[in-house]
Amino acid sequence: MGSGEEAGEQGVGGRGRIKITSFPSAPRSLPLVLFPMPNAQSLILSETKNLMEDLAIFLSKSLMGWLVIQVCFTLVFIWYLRSSKKNLLPDDQLPKTAVILCLRGADPFLPRCLRSLLNQNYPQYDLKLIVDSHEDPAWKIASETITEQEATNVQISPLRIVRNNCSLKCSSLVQAIRELDDSYKVVALVDADTIVHVNWLRELVSPLGDANVGATTGNRWYVPTGRYWGSLVRYIGNVSTVVQMFIFQIPWGGTLAVKTEVLRQTELLDKWGQALSEDFMMHDILKKQGLQVKFVPSLLIVNREETDLFNLIEYLKRLILCSRLYHPRWLALVSEAVSSILFPTALIILVLESLLEAKWEAAVLFLVCYGVYTIGLLLIMLVLELEIQRMVRSNDQAIAKLSAATIIKMLIGIPLTQWVYGLAMLSSLWTSTVAWRGVSYRVQGPWNVRLVEYRPYQWLDQPINSKVSL
């Protein structure tokens, strides 16, 4: 056969000439190159990876930054503890004072609390006990302790009017203070879980001699050696709470003194008559009068009560709700909660995700960051614990020494505390009913509190473990 062109010229049957031109084939030496279109899924995965890396970097930097802030707050607090001096007034300058203790139920160390209050190194003071009812277990314990001490400067009364628009404690405070005559120049509040030292009242009242001071306060300090995990979590959370309350000048109702003239000027009793809590609101009320709340370091009181995790969560929900209603820096507390709870938890999730995806370098980096943060918190607690131990020993308050086992439990307890507090904070967001020592309140606002269920406290309501908080 001829070439392709010749065959084409002959045509079919040789009758016509049709010319067919063939196209040259592509050189075999040049490969065929494909240019694929971008895959949408791969783009999404790439963007997600970048976002996760950015999030991890942000969380790591935020945790380290927050740790530095906590260290600074702690150093300021310790500096204040060490630099404060006791300027105690002599007997002839100490005003007559009413010490008010409101009781519902027999707190674990109530007899010791009462004995410590009845033996104060203070010239003129009276202890006013307001007990929920004659049936209350606290009534019998208080009566027996008064008889045992042969005390003459104490009066015990039942709560006569149960107000339906405030807490029972606020009802008791309003009753006790309105019954005082004009000879009382100072009112001191104390809780039944407070076992005070002999100069407690003198140290509490003396700073009120400064015209710029409207109220004085201390704080509680739990011990980390309890048998329940709830006790340890409460201790760890309280460490930061004590520092926060000092920074924001928030008084603690368990040790609090205020001038009676300030009570009248600020109409504080009317506020208490509509409120769920008595102490958080005081900072803003006094600030409007140009007065300050003074924290007295020697009035850090050791608390040895116990609690389990379930009861602790209920307590925290109530505490967070009161903070949201009355704390002057509530948004700052929310920011602190995000930094202390959400960021570390998110970093743990990133560690687990990196391990599942075999990203070993990222997992190690995140784990080191979380470890540095957690150990930093542990060191803060240990430094504060040693500082508080030094202070309370000077007031003859015994406190247990830290063992290696306790320190290890504290390290384990840090993430547990973050999760328990996070759960309590989330639960408090939709909490509108509060149960408190067998009494229920419906709370629809700071000044919209309703008592919805009340009954006298009974012996059967007491915890089986005599050291458990009510």
What digits encode the pLDDT tens for the residues 230-275?
Answer: 999 999 999 999 999 999 999 999 999 999 999 989 989 999 999 9
SS3 305: coil
Q: Is residue 430 part of a domain?
A: no
pLDDT tops 90 at residue 359: no
Range of the domain at 184: 91-224+246-305
- Residue 135 has a pLDDT of 94
Using alpha carbons, select from 330, 294, 300 the residue that is nearest to residue 446: 330
Question: Quick check: is 187 in a domain?
Answer: yes
**Residue 64 in tokens:** 């380290």
Q: What is the dihedral of CA 105, 111, 112, 118, to 10 degrees?
A: 110
Asked whether residue 442 carries a pLDDT value surpassing 70, the answer given is yes
Give the per-residue pLDDT at 59: 81
- List pLDDT tens digits, range 1-33: 444 444 444 444 444 444 444 444 444 444 544
| Domain assignment of residue 179, yes or no | yes
Neighbour count for residue 238 (Cβ, 10 Å): 18
Mean pLDDT value across the chain: 87
* Residues contacting 248, CB < 8 A, separation 6+: 283, 327, 328, 329, 332
Q: What is the CATH number of the domain that holds 108?
A: 3.90.550.10
Q: What's the pLDDT at 3?
A: 44
Give a yes or no: residue 75 inside a domain: no
- Average confidence (pLDDT) over 151-163: 95
Q: Is residue 120 part of a domain?
A: yes
Q: Decide if 99 is inside a domain.
A: yes
Going by pLDDT thresholds of 50, 70 and 90, the confidence category of residue 48 is: low
Number of domains in the chain: 1
The yes-or-no verdict on residue 176 having pLDDT over 80 is yes
Considering only CA atoms, which of 163, 186, 184, 164 is closest in space to residue 175? 163
* Residue 135 is assigned to a structural domain of this protein: yes
The pLDDT tens digits of the residues spanning 90-132 come to: 999 999 999 999 999 999 999 999 999 999 999 999 999 999 9
Could you tell me which residue, 149 or 63, shows the higher pLDDT? 149
pLDDT at residue 363, as a whole number: 83
**How high is the pLDDT of residue 234?**
96
**Domain-embedded: residue 45:** no
CB 269 within 8 A of CB 263: yes
Instruction: Give the model confidence (pLDDT) of 382-417 as tens digits.
Output: 999 999 998 888 776 777 788 899 999 999 999 999
Distance, in Å, from the CA atom of 285 to the CA atom of 242, rounded to the nearest integer, reads 21
Q: How confident is the model at residue 331 (pLDDT cuts 50, 70, 90)?
A: confident
